[in-house]
Structures are given as C-alpha cells and as structure tokens.
Amino acid sequence: MIGMSYADALFAFFVLWLIFIGILWWRELYRAKRFSWKLSNSTLFHCDSCHHSFIIKESVNLTRCPRCNSICICRKRRDLE
C-alpha cells in the first residue's frame, strides 16, 4: 500500500481535478470550433415563396423553408457573391 499523508492526497486530488477541468475545457473549445456556423453569402438563402431568409449548410442542394415548409432548390447565385 502507498503511504500518503493527508496533504499529499489532497494535492493529488487537486492536480487530477485540474487535469479533468483542462480536458473538458479543451473539448468544449474543439466542439465550438468544429460546429460553429460561419455566416457568408453562400450560406444565406432566401425563400422564393414566402421571402424568408435563413441559413443553410453549404453542401446541400435541396432544403425546406422553416416558415412555409416548401422545398427550395439551392443554386449557386452569382448576385449574392
């Protein structure tokens, strides 16, 4: 068995707790960077039926309008770029 004093055990607990908090902080920074939305003209879409503007992912060709639920075809628009 490892002989430890109360001060050494408390210090080890504190160090492990700081390492755990650091890992959680790094994970949150990584997730925020990976899943963040970047607003640009290519991600902003304007519905032709109800004239509602909303944000889409760049990789989709078809989407539904959140307001009127109509199918919208996403094309590369030269007037927005």
Domain count, the chain: 2
> Does the predicted TM-score (pTM) go above 0.75?
no
Do 74 and 51 share a structural domain? yes
Do 79 and 46 share a structural domain? yes
Residues 6 or more apart from 60 whose CB is under 8 A from it?
A: 74
Containing structural domain, residue 6: 1-36
Burial state string for 30-65 with b = 16 or more CB within 10 A and e = fewer than 16: eeeeeeeeeeeeeeebebeeeeeeeebeeeeeebeb
Do 53 and 32 share a structural domain? no
Do 23 and 3 share a structural domain? yes
Predicted confidence at residue 44, as pLDDT, reads 83
Phi, psi of 29 (to 5 degrees): -65, -40
Do 53 and 23 share a structural domain? no
Do 5 and 27 share a structural domain? yes
Q: Which tokens go with 12?
A: 């080890």
Do 31 and 48 share a structural domain? no
Tens of pLDDT, residue by residue over 10-52, are 999 999 999 999 999 999 999 988 877 666 667 788 888 898 8
